[in-house]
């Protein structure tokens, strides 16, 4: 099991993105940088797109984790992989051909991720997930930072963890939404191994320390449930 911390730049100051990324970069800093791409159609919010991701790639060596909350991800996903994203996640509710998209993202050199909104059942997507490297379990309705964690999503995380542990899936199990010092342990105990946190990191007085503190809490929780967790 991994223990990856992925600060979400949705909660950062968009006028100073390079500085905001530097603020979470370091030996105990971000493992991945979570980049929320929103189009005001799939979700009722608008953020950034491919040109910004291309610029971010040049501004940091931290792996970019692009979460596409957009309509027609089949058209756009490969562009993010070609722009140098480490992981490109599309939404199950928006994708037309999930297998082709996963294969295309991977052929372009990135990990492929599939995200499930809170009301989207895991069981409907198990076959497609065999082509994916990351499963993103949304723990809020996608669209905005600063929402409350939905504890009822922990069961989905537990079932995904069981599928990974029994060899039915080989995905990193990622959680996103309302992850903070109070909720991260429950997500880790349920079996998540990648933790997206926006307001808990960028709302903290010291974002780098907030990342390190989240990771420590994850490792403590995983030590209880998994006798031999990897360092991520």
Ligand X SMILES: O=C(CO)[C@@H](O)[C@H](O)COP(=O)(O)O
Cα–Cα distance between 92 and 37 in angstroms, integer? Answer: 15
Give the residue from 62, 58, 59 showing the smallest Cα distance to 29: 62
Locus of tokens 């360092």: 231
Give the sign of the dihedral formed by CA 77, CA 79, CA 83, CA 84.
positive
Among 30, 179, 211, 213, binds ligand X (CB under 6 A): 179
Write down how long the chain is.
232
CA distance 157 to 28: 25
- Residue of 31, 39, 65, 176 with catalytic role: 176
Q: Whole-angstrom Cα distance, residue 27 to residue 161?
A: 28
Active site residue 97: no
Give 40 or 162: the residue with its C-beta nearer to ligand X: 40
Among 29, 113, 177, 207, binds ligand X (CB under 6 A): 177
Q: Is 67 in the site for ligand X (CB under 6 A)?
A: yes
* Residue 31 annotated in active site: no
β partners of residue 39: 46
Alpha carbon distance 183, 181 (integer Å) = 6
Which CB atom, from 54 or from 147, has the smaller least distance to ligand X? Answer: 147
**Does 33 contact ligand X by CB under 6 A?**
no
**Residue of 11, 89, 134, 217 that binds ligand X (CB under 6 A):** 11
Q: Is 145 in the site for ligand X (CB under 6 A)?
A: yes
Q: Does 196 bind ligand X (CB under 6 A)?
A: yes
- Binding residues (CB under 6 A) for ligand X: these are 8, 10-11, 34, 36, 67, 140, 142-147, 176-179, 196-200
Which residues does the annotation mark as catalytic?
A: 36, 176
């Amino acid at each position: 099991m991994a223990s990856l911390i992925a600060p979400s730049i949705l909660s950062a100051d968009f006028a100073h993105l390079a500085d905001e990324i530097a603020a979470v970069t370091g030996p105990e800093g971000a493992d991945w940088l979570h980049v929320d791409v929103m189009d005001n159609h799939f979700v009722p919010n608008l953020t950034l797109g491919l040109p910004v991701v291309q610029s971010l790639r040049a501004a940091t060596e931290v792996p970019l984790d692009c979460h596409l909350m957009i309509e027609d991800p089949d058209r756009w996903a490969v562009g993010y992989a070609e722009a140098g994203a480490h992981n490109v996640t599309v939404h199950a509710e928006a994708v037309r051909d999930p297998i082709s998209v996963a294969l295309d993202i991977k052929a372009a050199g990135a990990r492929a991720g599939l995200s499930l909104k809170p009301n989207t059942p895991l069981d409907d997507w198990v076959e497609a997930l065999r082509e994916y490297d990351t499963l993103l379990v949304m723990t809020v309705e996608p669209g905005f930072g600063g929402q409350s964690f939905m504890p009822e999503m922990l069961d989905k995380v537990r079932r995904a963890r069981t599928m990974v542990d029994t060899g039915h899936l080989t995905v990193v199990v990622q959680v996103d939404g309302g992850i903070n010092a109070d909720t991260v342990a429950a997500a880790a105990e349920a079996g998540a191994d990648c933790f997206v946190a926006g307001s808990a990191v960028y709302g903290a007085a010291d974002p780098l320390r907030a990342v390190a503190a989240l990771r420590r809490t994850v490792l403590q929780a995983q030590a209880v449930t998994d006798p031999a967790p990897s360092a991520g």
